[in-house]
Copies of this chain bind each other. A is one copy, B any other.
Amino acid sequence: MKPYVLGIDIGGTNTVFGLVDARGAVIASGSIKTRKHSDFNAYIEELHAAAMQLIEANDAVDKVHGIGIGAPNANYFTGTIEEGVNLPWPTPLPLAKIVSEKFGIPVAVTNDANAAAIGEMTYGAARGMKDFIMITLGTGVGSGIVINGQVVYGHDGFAGELGHMIVKRNNGRLCGCGRTGCLEAYCSATGVARSAREFLEVSPLEPSLLRNIPINEITSKDVYDAAMQGDKIAKDIFEYTGTILGEAMADMMVFSSPSAFVLFGGLAKSGELLLKPLRNAMEKNMLGCFKGKAKVLLSELKEADAAVLGASALGWEAKAPDVPAGASTPVLP
C-alpha cells in the first residue's frame, strides 16, 4: 500500500490540507482561502496546485494512497456536497468525482463531524473503541456516531445529526434549521452567546462582568472568561448549557450504548465549567442499566491538526471509482 494519504478539510473560511503517514504524523500541511473563488473549478485549480506542490516537495508523487475530505454536508455515499450549506458554490456539488479526476487519486468524502470521529478513532481519544459518539461543539453542534467500529451513515448518508435532537419541545429557541428547540440552539458557541443575552435580560439587577460588553457582541469565550473570574451569571450559563447537553447525552445512550462520548471544539475547552454539570445531568437522567458506564472524554487531537487528520484517515478507505471497461486508468497530470 502506498505510504501516504492526503487529508483535506473544507471549512467555511479556510481549506486546510495535509500529507499524513500511516502513523498519523502530519508530514506537511498548507491552506488556501475557501471563499476566494466563487467558481468551483478555479477553487479546485488552486487547491490542486497547492497540494501538488506540497506532495512534490515531500517526494510523495505516486505515493498517495487516497484523499479524504471532510466538508460540511458532504455525503459519504454520493460523494457530493448536498444543498443547504454555507459555501460559495452551487449545490449539489459532485466533490469526490471532481477531486478524484483532478488528482487521479481515489477520494472519499464525509461531513466534518464524521471526519472528526474517524480521526479520533484512528489517532485520538477513541483509539481501540468500537462504540462511541463524537460531539463537536463549535458554531453549531455536530456529531459522528461509531457503532461496532463503523461510522453510522444511515440509509441516505445523513445519519448522525444529533445537534438537531429536540431538547425543548415547547417554546424552544429558533434553530438555523428552521425548527425550534434543537440541541444546537443551546449547546453551540452561538447558543451560549444567546444564553448570555437571555440571562442578562432576565436578571437586570444581577451584576455581571458580561455587562461591560455590548450585549449583541458577547461571545462564548467572553462567558468563559467571566466564569473563570467567578462571575455568577457566567457560571450559571455553563451550568445551564452542561445540563442540557448531559440530558441529551443520556437520551443518546439508550440508542447506541456507547462506551464513551468524545467532545471536540471550542466549548469543549471550557473544562470542568461545562463537564461538571454535564456529567451530573447525564448520570442523573441515565436509564439504570447504563449508569456509570459511559466515559466523557475530550478530544486528544491538536485542534490545528484534527480536521486534517480526521479527513486523512478516511483516505485509507478511499477506493478508485468503477472504471467502465476499456476506459483508461486515470493518471497524475
Please report A residues at the B interface, Cβ cutoff 8 Å: 82, 84, 129-131, 145, 147-148, 150, 152-162, 164-169, 177-179, 247, 250-252, 254-259, 285, 287-290, 293
Contact = CB atoms under 8 A, between A and B. Distances in A.
A74 to B, nearest CB: 13
Contact of A152 (B164, B252, B256): B256
B257 A159 contact: yes
A288 B165 contact: no
25 contacts: A130-B155, A131-B154, A131-B155, A148-B150, A148-B152, A152-B255, A153-B257, A154-B258, A155-B293, A156-B293, A157-B257, A158-B257, A158-B289, A159-B256, A159-B257, A161-B289, A165-B251, A166-B250, A167-B169, A169-B247, A178-B288, A179-B287, A252-B255, A255-B255, A255-B256
Q: How many copies of this chain sit in the oligomeric assembly? A: 2
Nearest to A287: B164
A147 B158 contact: no
Nearest to A259: B155
A290 B84 CA distance: 13
Given A164-B287, A285-B166, A145 B255 contact: yes
A133 to B, nearest CB: 10
A259 B159 CA distance: 11
**Which of A82, A130, A165 lies at the interface centre, i.e. has the most chain B CB atoms within 10 A of its CB?**
A165
Contact of A177 (B157, B167, B259, B288): B288
A267 to B, nearest CB: 20
Contact of A257 (B155, B166, B288, B290): B155
Given A166-B251, A169-B169, A251-B165, A257 B156 contact: yes
